[in-house]
Amino acid sequence: MADVDVVVVGAGAAGVAAATVAAEADATVLVIEKYGFAGGAAVAGMSGTICGMYLASDGDAGPEQVVYGFTDRFAGELTARHGLTDPQRYGKTFTSAHDPLVWREAADALLTAAGVRILFHTQVIDVLVEEDAYQGLIVASNAGVGLIRAARIIDASGDGAVVARGGGAYRFGDDGRIQNPTMFFRLGNVNVEEFWAAWGFDTINPPWISDAIDEARAAGLDLPRNKIWVFATSRPGELLVNATRLTGPDGRILNVIDPADFTLAEIGGRQQVRAYARFLADAVPGCADSFVVDTGVEVGIRQTRTIEGIVTLRDSDVVEGTKRSDSICRSPWPIELHDGEKPRLRWLLDDYYDVPFGTLVPQRGENVIVAGRCLSAQHQALASARVTAQCFEYGHAAAVATLVSLDSGTAYRDLDVRAVQDRMIANGSALQPAARVAASSEGQDRP
């Protein structure tokens, strides 16, 4: 007998969406979260923006939203609490910055109103698997160790932690090459009018900033990245800065699954934050009297484990804007790759691609589904598909699939995706009904 219908591991964007949607449909839902708050990479990692809602374009048109559903619902909750900015120009697209405290409060309100039981300060340390079926979790907290049995498990850890502990297949990036972590920070006491007049309308830095960073690096500052991004926040006199590039002392890529690498990233990240803050104060108008308000609770994690799913999102799907009959989410976000000396952006203009349902379903194991950045995707595809707007919708899809699976007694891998799509559309998601998608896209990439 299960203790709960659904246990959700991780309370980031995907986990909050999954838990809320499942509980609002009267499933008994328990959330396990290692921190004392919801938010995951958006809050603990201070990624700070809801990327992936708007089309990219070479033109001068304003933001055109193409992702709705739970993403739009959560953005509305933030806006109602004055915790989300208007869309800001980011290269060829737009994004909005959120207040990390308001994010936590919005998540608290949604989860509690839905009747979700939450266990903060609790971690999964093992998984109960019987005859290849996930049956429950072993969790630990300061109170001790406990067993939770669940009819279905949604792995929204971001790291594929449940799938990995249960023996499921996964990989790390491109033959072990993964994206660099980063340390976001907030800069206070900025004359923002003077800053934006000098910086320009784009949150991605102008060329003169890259030149100035190169000069400051030559003078001894630890500024490994010369292409940086700065966002307005919902607070007066404040900026959100994405500037650091974190590697090992020997320049190697850090994989934060390893606590030794995680520690190097944390310490190095805080050191780089001070260097970039000094650069901004010395070189950029409006920042002379600025100071670091805070950094992320942890480094911003872009990539760790990627599960082997029954379907894989391919690099070519992103580049070509592939539409699919088994879609559970649209994504217009560019390939934003952080695995070298500077970020590389490859835009998908005036279009989006579809993320197939099977990317959330592990090849091996029953009763478990993932939601978040550990979905099954090739390396460059993941550099697009991992962002916040899509993670909200992955959680939404995982919850709906779980409800359909529980109601019908059908395994995730055997579900009729149309039943999932219909309920997501009823909840406000923007999806093309399966019957209208070209038949030629069906069945792509199944092993």
For residue 403, the number of C-alpha atoms closer than 13 Å in the C-beta half-sphere is 23
* Structural domain for 214, as ranges: 185-295
Q: What percent of the chain has pLDDT over 90?
A: 88
Residue 105 has pLDDT above 60, yes or no: yes
In degrees to the nearest 10, what's the CA dihedral of 316, 225, 388, 95? -100
Domain count, the chain: 2
Tell me the one-letter amino acid at 376. Answer: S
Residue 439 has pLDDT above 50, yes or no: no
Residue 438 has pLDDT above 50, yes or no: no
In a domain, residue 216? The reply is yes
Contact 302, 386 (CB under 8 A): yes
- Cα–Cα distance between 373 and 371 in angstroms, integer? 7
Residue finishing a domain among 247, 263, 295: 295
Residue 314 buriedness (CB in 10 A; 0-12 / 13-18 / 19+): middle
Residue 345 has pLDDT above 90, yes or no: no
In a domain, residue 179? The reply is no
In a domain, residue 180? The reply is no
Could you report the per-residue pLDDT of 194-244, keeping only the tens digit for each?
999 999 999 999 999 999 999 999 999 999 999 999 999 999 999 999 999
Taking the model in full, what pTM does it have?
Answer: 0.94
Band of pLDDT at residue 180, cut at 50, 70 and 90: confident
Residue 90 has pLDDT above 80, yes or no: yes
Could you report the per-residue pLDDT of 15-46, keeping only the tens digit for each?
999 999 999 999 999 999 999 999 999 999 99
Claim to verify: residue 49 and residue 150 sit in the same structural domain: yes
In a domain, residue 395? The reply is yes
Claim to verify: residue 166 and residue 315 sit in the same structural domain: yes
Claim to verify: residue 139 and residue 263 sit in the same structural domain: no
- Cα–Cα distance between 318 and 322 in angstroms, integer? 7
- Cα–Cα distance between 32 and 15 in angstroms, integer? 9
Six token digits for residue 170: 């996964």
Tell me the one-letter amino acid at 324. Answer: R
Six token digits for residue 432: 């093309």
Band of pLDDT at residue 251, cut at 50, 70 and 90: confident
Residue finishing a domain among 266, 295, 324: 295
Residue finishing a domain among 295, 330, 348: 295
Claim to verify: residue 218 and residue 141 sit in the same structural domain: no
- Cα–Cα distance between 19 and 260 in angstroms, integer? 32
Claim to verify: residue 165 and residue 238 sit in the same structural domain: no
Tell me the one-letter amino acid at 103. Answer: W
Claim to verify: residue 271 and residue 338 sit in the same structural domain: no
Claim to verify: residue 207 and residue 126 sit in the same structural domain: no
In a domain, residue 241? The reply is yes
Count of CB atoms situated within 10 Å of the CB of 154: 32
Could you report the per-residue pLDDT of 301-335, keeping only the tens digit for each?
899 899 999 999 999 999 999 999 999 999 999 99
Contact 58, 349 (CB under 8 A): yes
What is the chain's mean pLDDT, rounded?
94
Structural element, H or E, at residue 278? helix 259-283
Residue 447 has pLDDT above 70, yes or no: no
Claim to verify: residue 190 and residue 284 sit in the same structural domain: yes
What is the bridge-based pairing of β-strands 305-307 and 4-9? Answer: unpaired
Claim to verify: residue 239 and residue 152 sit in the same structural domain: no
pLDDT of residue 174: 81
Could you report the per-residue pLDDT of 378-435, keeping only the tens digit for each?
999 999 999 999 999 999 999 999 999 999 999 999 999 999 999 999 999 999 754 4
pLDDT of residue 153: 98
| CATH, residue 152 | 3.50.50.60
Q: What angle do CA 323, 328, 334 make, to 5 degrees?
A: 60
Residue 129 has pLDDT above 60, yes or no: yes
In a domain, residue 446? The reply is no
In a domain, residue 417? The reply is yes
Claim to verify: residue 148 and residue 60 sit in the same structural domain: yes
Six token digits for residue 443: 């069945």
DSSP string, 307-325: E-BSS-B-HHHHHHT---T
Contact 91, 205 (CB under 8 A): no
Residue range 350-371: average pLDDT? 97
In a domain, residue 399? The reply is yes
Claim to verify: residue 158 and residue 190 sit in the same structural domain: no
Could you report the per-residue pLDDT of 260-290, keeping only the tens digit for each?
999 999 999 999 999 999 999 999 999 999 9
Claim to verify: residue 168 and residue 308 sit in the same structural domain: yes
Could you report the per-residue pLDDT of 53-85, keeping only the tens digit for each?
999 999 888 999 999 999 999 999 999 999 999
